[in-house]
């Protein structure tokens, strides 16, 4: 048996940002267009009028101040309200693969390794660009990695589930190392015309290199333990898929073809599940709250993270103990906890212990206990 370790991480950040002020202006312009177009039905009581969003509402509900996106032009056009992405030919790299390539190269550079040192690629994301060939295999080809690759989807928990799969393979000896990549184009499955969620998501890609600790060429984080859990729920759902055209109204512009959630139920049901999951994982590994130097949590909502931090630590987290990046990136699905880890882990000292955790649709929750070495 071998000891798996995180030796490098990388983050690809799009060049375009949308502030809350920009988003609100576009959304409210859409509301005016919608209400004018449906004025008769609204007056007759057949349709409810849409209401404005506001910067205050967004920040209070989420803690988000801006988000990075692949394309802001379409999103901010009140007559479009979704990203406008160029159709690529089959001979070109896909957008997800291109994003993941950037993040993967950064992870390799941080670890002091090359593609020749990697045996496997796992592309773990909440939505994949296509059904097949696997995006992971395309990334493998772009990096010129020998070995194998596969896609996996556990929504917002995809990264931690991917880390567990990679760590288990490294631990067993079936591979020496793996790249877990998380390209998230969340702007393409968000319903920007829905006031309750139009502010939630942003785009990004992350990568994590997992190797045998003995092969690390610099400081690393030993993966002490991983744990995953799932419980079925419809409270976060997206009904888009390949069967869509086979159904009578499948090609219609239906609301359920994009991201949907019952936010109040999610908040009420997921938080106890996550807190109990982390507590059980820590207890089984004899990790006390005082042992944790850092919590890198899924970046969905500041209130959710504050709640989990208090439950896990038994007190409000101190400055730096539970870093948030969602104010800048918004919710980036599976990538959020990895962005936080990548940006806020280098300052830990030898022997310090931390915990990465993600949670979301499924419901799903994954946690990774790590210890700094070097």
Integer Cα distance of 10 and 112 in angstroms = 12
Nearest-angstrom CA–CA distance, 347 and 342: 11
Pairwise CA distance, residues 333 & 2, whole Å: 30
Rounded-to-integer distance, Cα 138 and Cα 157, Å: 22
Q: Tell me whether residue 357 is one of the annotated catalytic residues.
A: no
156, 186, 197, 357: the active-site residue: 156
Across the chain, the runs of DSSP E, i.e. the strands, are 4-12, 16-19, 66-69, 120-124, 148-152, 177-185, 203-212, 220-230, 236-237, 260-261, 292-297, 353-360, 364-373
Structure tokens at 309: 């931090």
Report whether 174 contacts 153 (CB < 8 A): no
Give me the helix-helix angle, 336-343 and 158-172, nearest 10°: 70
Q: Positive or negative CA dihedral for 193, 194, 198, 201?
A: negative
Q: Is 161 exposed, middle or buried (0-12, 13-18, 19+ CB in 10 A)?
A: buried
Task: Give the active site residues.
Answer: 156
């Amino acid at each position: 048996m071998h000891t798996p370790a995180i030796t490098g991480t990388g983050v690809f950040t799009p060049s375009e940002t949308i502030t809350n002020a920009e988003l609100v202006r576009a959304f409210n312009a859409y509301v005016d267009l919608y209400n004018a177009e449906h004025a008769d039905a609204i007056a007759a009581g057949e349709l409810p009028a849409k209401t404005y969003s506001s910067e205050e509402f967004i920040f209070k509900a989420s803690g988000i101040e801006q988000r990075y996106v692949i394309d802001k032009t379409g999103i901010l056009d009140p007559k479009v309200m979704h990203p406008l992405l160029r159709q690529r030919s089959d001979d070109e790299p896909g957008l997800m693969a291109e994003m993941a390539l950037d993040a993967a190269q950064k992870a390799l550079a941080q670890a002091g390794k090359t593609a020749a040192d990697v045996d496997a690629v796992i592309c773990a994301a909440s939505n994949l660009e296509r059904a097949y060939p696997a995006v992971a295999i395309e990334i493998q080809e772009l990096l010129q990695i020998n070995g194998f690759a596969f896609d996996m989807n556990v929504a917002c928990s995809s990264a931690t589930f991917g880390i567990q799969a990679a760590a288990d393979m490294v631990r067993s000896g079936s591979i020496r190392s793996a790249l877990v990549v998380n390209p998230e184009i969340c702007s393409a499955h968000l319903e920007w015309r829905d006031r309750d969620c139009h502010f939630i998501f942003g785009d990004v890609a992350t990568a994590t290199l997992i190797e045998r600790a003995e092969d690390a060429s610099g400081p690393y984080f030993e993966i002490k333990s991983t744990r995953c859990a799932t419980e079925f729920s419809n409270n976060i759902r997206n009904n888009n898929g390949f069967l869509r055209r086979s159904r009578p109204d499948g090609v219609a512009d239906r609301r359920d073809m994009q991201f949907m959630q019952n936010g109040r139920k999610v908040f009420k049901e997921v938080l106890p599940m996550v807190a109990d999951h982390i507590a059980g994982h820590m207890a089984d590994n004899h990790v006390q709250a005082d042992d944790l130097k850092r919590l890198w949590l899924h970046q969905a909502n500041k209130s959710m993270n504050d709640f989990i931090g208090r439950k896990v630590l038994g007190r409000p987290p101190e400055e730096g103990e539970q870093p948030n990046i969602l104010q800048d990136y918004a919710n980036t699905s599976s990538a959020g906890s990895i962005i936080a880890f990548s940006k806020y882990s280098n300052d830990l000292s030898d022997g310090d212990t931390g915990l990465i955790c993600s949670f979301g649709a499924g419901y799903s929750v994954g946690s990774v206990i790590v210890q700094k070495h070097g």
